[in-house]
Amino acid sequence: MNTDAGRLNGLSPTNLLEFGFRKNEARIHEAQKPCDLIEYLIKLTTQEQQVILDPFMGSGTTAVAAKALNRNFIGFEVNTDYYEKSLNRIESTNSSEAQEQLLFH
């Protein structure tokens, strides 16, 4: 656990985390979480270059957050529509290198 990374505004968080969606963050999936929340959780529980596994990629939020934080990721998505949308989202927010690291479908 990266306790220093878990601080919010220099303070230890309570048991209630409040994160909203970014202004330009498109809503793709009904269970989509804010990218800022996922980045926070990734920083709290992993270190750079570690691998994040997301067996239900949905909108691709975890992949976007992992790449932004210099983590590797493996993701799966069986829904073709969400698969395509998540690929588009990842491509638009990351380099083509991110696409090469995806394992989908």
Query: From CA 83, how far away is CA 21, in angstroms rounded?
Result: 21
CB 82 within 8 A of CB 76: no
Tell me: the pLDDT tens digits for 22-66? 888 888 898 899 999 999 999 999 999 999 999 999 999 999 999
pTM across the whole model: 0.79
CATH homologous superfamily of 1-105:
Vaccinia Virus protein VP39 (3.40.50.150)
State yes or no: pLDDT of 99 exceeds 50.
no
**The pLDDT of residue 105:** 43
pLDDT score, position 94:
56
Spatial separation of the C-alpha atoms in residues 12 and 3, rounded to whole Å: 8
Show me where the domains of the chain are located.
Answer: 1-105
74, 51 in Cβ contact below 8 A? yes
**Strand ranges (E), the chain:** 51-54, 72-75
| 61-93: pLDDT as tens digits | 999 999 999 999 999 999 999 999 999 999 888
pLDDT of 102 > 60? The answer is no
